[in-house]
Amino acid sequence: MRHVTQPPALDEAGLERALERLRRTVRQRGLKGSSVRDAIARAALLRRGHFSVDDLLKELRESGVVDAHPATVYRVLPLLVEAGLLQMTLVSKGDGARYERAFEREHHDHLICTRCGKVVEFEFEAIEVLQRDVAERFGFRLTGHVHELLGICKDCSAAGVER
Amino acid sequence: MRHVTQPPALDEAGLERALERLRRTVRQRGLKGSSVRDAIARAALLRRGHFSVDDLLKELRESGVVDAHPATVYRVLPLLVEAGLLQMTLVSKGDGARYERAFEREHHDHLICTRCGKVVEFEFEAIEVLQRDVAERFGFRLTGHVHELLGICKDCSAAGVER
DNA sequence: CTTCCTGCAAAGGCTTTGCAAAGCT
DNA sequence: AGCTTTGCAAAGCCTTTGCAGGAAG
């Protein structure tokens, strides 16, 4: 089991590899290139950590690169996921989709403090192995998983008298 | 690892125990009793399998027991979760909350076919142990988890040529 | 020139909230 | 009596969709 730390931001070369991968997906699906889509991809890929659609919209607006419309971002994000650039995350929070970079980033799951919102990322191969065992046992080809551990962190336990 | 099968519906005695537990929670929180709430709890507890808020509303309406208003159901369900009668489930589906009975039902996680929607419930103590290890390692007191395995079931693999 | 992409506005679906009347204790 | 619960309607949020003009291949 390992604590997974925030990876460094994707460098220029990594960004280029990511966009190349996006171009491949776009080609495969018979779509067309677009500078707005690329700009959204860039902004999303440069993000460190988790972000909501709104975070991304704000950033795009404030950075002045493009003032992408929400509808456009909502249309682009699923494609970035399909291309393997992003993945949805923190699903258990509910309110609103959150994403994080998946490209050139190691797989990990999340441990979340439901009191203060702190998120610890960890990687535990032993669990992954058992997940594959489950899928195999029931004749499924495993394509993904949602695995979020919910609890109360040490700080909140110390602080909170309630409960 | 075990395949967890649909449990039998809660019998009358079980229902009574569940409602007693609800009354306790209600008392502890300084709330008041309510027949509408009890009727909602009854309907939810008698459900076999997963259900959406809308499923429950329809059932309440059609059964003629009470024609509970959606807002009321939305207010009552979190209380039933807090009381340990229900739990949220199939979070990864996104669109709309789903629940299932948790009271007098063994813990289990879900393996979901993203093509046909089939859901297999399984219990795997080894995974639970590892989850506890993760929480301990990071100083969290574990209170719950979301664990859903996503894949393609055997039938869909056989049927589908695409991807 | 055909097809896709974008912005815009509107609609959609689920859920929450403010309020007044009704229900508990 | 004093507080909670309920139904109702309205609003809130996030997200999707239809359309027309612009961009890409």
**Residue at shortest CA–C1' distance from D24:** A32
pLDDT at B163: 42
pTM (2 decimals)? Answer: 0.93
- Contacts with B, A 33-92, CB within 8 Å: 91-92
Compute how many other C-beta atoms are within 10 angstroms of the C-beta atom of residue A102.
19
pLDDT at B62: 93
- Cα A61 to Cα A55, A73, A75, A97: the distances in Å are 10, 12, 17, 19
A116 lies within 8 A of chain B by CB:
no
pLDDT per 10-residue tile (average), chain B, 163 residues:
94 97 98 98 97 97 94 98 97 93 97 94 98 98 97 91 48
State the angle between helix axes of B35-46 and B70-82 in degrees (0 to 180), rounded to the nearest 10.
Answer: 70
Residue with tokens 């991809």: A41
Distance CA B141, CA A40 (A): 38
A163 lies within 8 A of chain B by CB:
no
CA-nearest of B39, B128, B51 to B86 is: B51
Tokens of A8: 């460094």
A131 lies within 8 A of chain B by CB:
yes
Distance CA B89, CA A45 (A): 31
Name the nt closest to B23 by C-alpha to C1': C24
pLDDT at B161: 52
Task: Write out which nucleotides of chain C lie closer than 7 A to a protein Cβ.
Answer: 3-10, 13-18, 23-25
Contacts of B134 in chain A (CB under 8 A): 1, 111, 122, 124, 149
Residuewise pLDDT in 10s, chain A (163 residues): 999 998 999 999 999 999 999 999 999 999 999 999 999 999 999 999 999 999 999 999 999 999 999 999 999 999 999 999 999 999 998 889 999 999 999 999 999 999 999 999 999 999 999 999 999 999 999 999 999 999 999 999 998 654 4
Q: Do B140 and A149 touch (CB under 8 A)?
A: yes
**Residue at shortest CA–C1' distance from C5:** A34
Contacts of A138 in chain B (CB under 8 A): 3, 111, 120, 122, 153
CA-nearest of B69, B103, B71, B72 to B86 is: B103
